[in-house]
Structure 1
Amino acid sequence: MAREGARPCYDPAGSDHALRAVLQDLRTGRWMAMRTLLAETTEAWQWTQRTQILAAAAAGSDVVRAWLAEEPDCAHAAVMRARVGVERALRARRERRLRAHELWIEAWDAAQTATGLAPRDPVPWICLLALAQLDPEQRWAEHRAAPPAPPLPPGPWELLAEAAARDPYNREAHHRVLQFLYARDGGRNTPTAAADPARSGAREAAGHPGTGLKEAAGPPAAGIGRARARLIEPAGPHRGLDEALVYARWAAGQAPPGSALHLLPLYVRVERHRRAGERQAHWTTDAAAREAHTALTSWFTQAPPGRRAQPDLNHLAHALWSTGQYAAAAAVFEAIGPYFTPPPWLYRAGGRDRAVDVFAAARDRCRAGTDPTRT
């Protein structure tokens, strides 16, 4: 719980104090604490989260290379090499560096190596999924596999299946699919055809194997059936966003209680808001309010507090505040505590530096809405 009036801070480790200590060691070029922490991390959700955050911190140094030099056959070190490689490749593409393609191939090679050294680990497959966004034209065969449901486009579905076979409903894996779909807006503007179920070959009676998601029998509650007609027509300039929304609703509609996949539609709504540059229009609809309430009841009230990721808490608080559900938002703000994440607040602030101001104002408004003594 955050102290009344206290300004939150951004810390990638959030409430993971063990991770925070390791990040401090990484900044000084030491890797032993990272090795120890990863050896002690046994739950898949935490392993995925910690390796991602550690890679972001290590990508600007040779600390993982130093670890591999000492322990060349260490599976954990190989996974971290893949993580760091992906982080560098994505940064290089964003910054339009000359070595972007070279770094992409290096990251792919590292991830492939890690799949062999750590065969039960979902992270190497998540790394390959993350690289799919660098191929929006889908030149690579692994990025144009048949989809698990007809409304969805061809994509890196087999990579998702491999990740989910090792950790069903893995949060990051599904967010990487969203990033791939977003990137398609920058690719070829071609029609999106519904997949032919007879040609998929990979489906089982219970659904697409390994994705952790069952194929819907009849119209899904998330509105997938209604979206199908639009998606099989020639797509406009926002093809990727449209596909991402269909995917997010489909995935969320089939996720179990407590799964972070219930928040996927909120992330797509924030992305649409960010691209449009509109302050409020995307949140003044009944659909936005329903999505926020569904995420609250299907995820926030069901997930163990220790497993709630900071970005998810912030996106839910933002959605509830944006749709006027202040009492519910106040409870989420309390769960956030002293930490916050700049997205999604920075898209309301006009800049990253003012994101904390928007967060604090929203938190105060929601707290005031639940306390009759405050004005």
Structure 2
Amino acid sequence: MARGDGARPAYDPAGHDTELRAALQDLRTGRWMAMRDLLERTTAWWQWTARTQVLAAAAAGTDVVRAWRAEEPESVPAAVMHARVAVERALRARRESHRRTHELWIEAWDASHTATRIAEPDPVPWVCLLALAQLDAGLSWEEHRVAAPEPTLPVGPWGLLAEAGKRDPCNREAHHRMLQFLYARGSSGRLAEAAGYAQWAAASAPPGSALHVLPLYVRVERYRRGAGQDAALDLHWVAEDATREAQEALDTWFARSGTAERSPLDLNHLAHALWGALRFREAARVFDVLGPYWTPLPWVHRTTDPGDPARALEVFLQARARCRAAADDDPGRRF
């Protein structure tokens, strides 16, 4: 395999999805037809979910989706993208403590509920509602304090998760939105709940499911919250449970999933976990699949300045070089 060791990787939300990249380029120039055509060709729910999420992030600062709906008011994909964009704007407003956060939240909730009726078989409107649940930190809404299917798990938007699951079992984004809901509730005890949830979801998922990577995200979140406070956290990447989580994600997800289905973010988390666990040869396999792409997360949390992606890229490059050197020294390595 030609690896291009000297090339600096790029951050590209489309990753290896060349069709999505072309639609994004068109969207950024104010045109929506390539987005519409791409979504009409997208039939697998996992790909539909991923593509609509990336497109919405790019469209949220524009009027492209509004222009699409004005031209094609009966379009179901346009209605779903309207909900997607509304949710993205509400979440950004909360992160920026914008004065219109509550107003945008209600608008997004209305758009998402409308989409559940218009696009009944689609999991994405339910994923949108799950994403908005994190804004309700006080659990004021009844749909956000439903009893869990297991007594060891906390109350939460389980009904919304179940609706997404009916339409797309083990929907990757739906479960990540549940994690974000649990993170938003604050304390270290809530982080323990998130860890329990991630383990439960992974244990319930079939081989090849991206849910087997969820525990790696919680481990990064635990490190992020403790960075600078507990020197022992530097050792938790090589702890027995950390090593086991990384190996299980490698064996149960990476080794049993198709290349197109692996998100760059999941691949980066797996490469990071294996590198942290000193499983350099295994990590080299993941770096090879990543090819020219990388994501700032989780690498930014291994730097002294999480706001500087350039430092995160240097950590990524150092980790990749270390892992590939170990792989190259292995006489049994085959590319």
TM-score range normalised by the length of the shorter chain = over 0.9
Q: Which residue in 2 is equivalent to 1:184?
A: 185
Runs of 4+ in 1 over 3 A off after TM superposition: none
Q: Do the aligned partners of 1:280 and 1:322 also contact (CA within 8 Å) in 2?
A: no
Residue identity opposite 2:249 in structure 1: A
Paired-residue identity, %: 63
Q: Which residue in 2 is equivalent to 1:21?
A: 22
Q: Which residue in 1 is equivalent to 2:57?
A: 56
Q: Which residue in 2 is equivalent to 1:358?
A: 315
| 1:239-261 deviation digits (Å, cap 9, x = unpaired) | 22111000000110111000000
SS of equivalent residue, structure 1 residue 283: coil
Q: Which residue in 2 is equivalent to 1:171?
A: 172
Moved more, 311-320 or 274-283: 274-283
Q: Which residue in 2 is equivalent to 1:318?
A: 272
Q: Which residue in 2 is equivalent to 1:191?
A: none
Q: Which residue in 2 is equivalent to 1:259?
A: 209
Q: Do the aligned partners of 1:10 and 1:341 also contact (CA within 8 Å) in 2?
A: yes
| 1:7-57 deviation digits (Å, cap 9, x = unpaired) | 111000011111111111111110011100000000000000000000000
Q: Which residue in 2 is equivalent to 1:153?
A: 154
Of 229, 246, 249, 1:292 maps to 246
Q: Which residue in 2 is equivalent to 1:238?
A: 188
Q: Do the aligned partners of 2:17 and 2:260 also contact (CA within 8 Å) in 1?
A: no
Mind listing any 5+ residue stretches in structure 2 that lack a counterpart?
none
SS of equivalent residue, structure 1 residue 134: coil
Q: Which residue in 1 is equivalent to 2:294?
A: 340
1:115 equivalent to 2:69? Answer no
Residue identity opposite 2:17 in structure 1: D
CA distance, structure 1, for counterparts of residue 89 and residue 6 of structure 2: 38
SS of equivalent residue, structure 2 residue 253: helix
Q: Which residue in 1 is equivalent to 2:80?
A: 79
What displacement does 1:98 show?
0.4
Q: TM-score when scaled to structure 2?
A: 0.94
> Counterparts in 2 of 1:1-40, with a 5 A limit?
2-40=3-41
CA distance, structure 2, for counterparts of residue 179 and residue 111 of structure 1: 18
Q: Do the aligned partners of 1:178 and 1:244 also contact (CA within 8 Å) in 2?
A: yes
User: How well do the aligned residues superpose, as a CA RMSD in angstroms?
Assistant: 1.2
Q: Which residue in 2 is equivalent to 1:203?
A: none
Residue identity opposite 1:306 in structure 2: A
What displacement does 1:373 show?
8.7
Q: Which residue in 1 is equivalent to 2:93?
A: 92
| 1:56-109 deviation digits (Å, cap 9, x = unpaired) | 000001110011111112110000000000000000000000000000000000
Moved more, 336-345 or 270-279: 270-279
Residue identity opposite 1:96 in structure 2: S
CA distance, structure 1, for counterparts of residue 71 and residue 327 of structure 2: 56
CA distance, structure 1, for counterparts of residue 311 and residue 274 of structure 2: 20
Mind listing any 5+ residue stretches in structure 1 that lack a counterpart?
186-236
Residue identity opposite 2:126 in structure 1: W
User: Number of matched residues?
Assistant: 323
